Amino acid sequence: MSERATGNGTGTTGRILDVAERMLQERGYNGFSYGDVAAELGITRAALHYHFPGKAELGQSLIERYATRFAAALAELDATAPDAAAKLRGYVALYTDVLSADRMCLCGMLAAEHRTLPTPLQNAVTAFFASNTTWLRAVLEEGCADGTLRCPGTPENTASMLLGGLEGGMLIARLDGDVARFTASVNQLLTALQPVRTEAPAPR
């Protein structure tokens, strides 16, 4: 497939996506325009329209690329993390890395603007969070089954709590750029899921 068709090339299409992704993560979907992207790249709007006919198509490509990268990261955790607790720590690290780069989760930014987005983008954002919830639920079920995690509620509800805590924590931390506060908050979430260890009574 051509670079124009896939949107994954390292040429103009890739550079457009890189610039637009950064702008979206910093400003939101409604906070940047085609003109902003074209100006930063030093190309004409006509050139931008050649690669992406409209902003909706650009947004769709951004979500698809982001979701593909995220899915690859989750697959890597499944393949390398020794247990469910390690998978959750790795999942949290994905968010921490984004926040440390002074950005927000791309789909989290889009979720905040959900009602103003074109329908295809709304559906794509919903699908992103649904797939993340499914992955988290499976990890929680695994950990509860093998004893590496504590299960205070249903895996579905706990998965939603974790996802909401991470996305909300990013928004709050963004107010003052305090990544340490975000880390402390999410660590508390993870601590609540650690199994309670009972110490053996001391010998008499």
The pLDDT, as a whole number, for residue 3 is 33
Q: What is the 3-state secondary structure (H, E, C) of 44-109?
A: CHHHHHHHCCCHHHHHHHHHHHHHHHHHHHHHHHHHHCCCHHHHHHHHHHHHHHHHHCCCCCHHHH
The pLDDT, as a whole number, for residue 195 is 85
Q: What is the pLDDT of residues 23-81, one digit of tens each?
A: 999 999 999 999 999 999 999 999 999 999 999 999 999 999 999 999 999 999 999 99
Q: For residue 138, count other CB atoms closer than 10 A to its CB.
A: 16
The pLDDT, as a whole number, for residue 153 is 84
The pLDDT, as a whole number, for residue 6 is 37
The pLDDT, as a whole number, for residue 202 is 52
Range 13-20, long-range pairs (CB < 8 A, 24+ positions): 13/51, 15/41, 16/41, 16/48, 16/51, 16/52, 16/58, 17/58, 17/61, 17/62, 17/65, 20/58, 20/62
Average pLDDT per 10 consecutive residues for the chain, totaling 204 residues: 39 94 95 94 92 94 97 97 95 94 93 95 97 97 92 90 93 88 91 72 52
Alpha-carbon radius of gyration of the chain: 20
The pLDDT, as a whole number, for residue 136 is 97
- Cα–Cα distance measured from residue 71 to residue 75, given in angstroms and rounded to the nearest whole number: 6
The pLDDT, as a whole number, for residue 80 is 97
Taking the domains of the chain in order of start, what are their residue ranges?
55-192
pTM: 0.86
CATH fold of 55-192 reads Tetracycline Repressor; domain 2 (1.10.357)
The pLDDT, as a whole number, for residue 40 is 95
Give me the residue label for tokens 């930014």: 109
Closest CA to 22 of 91, 75, 117, 101: 101
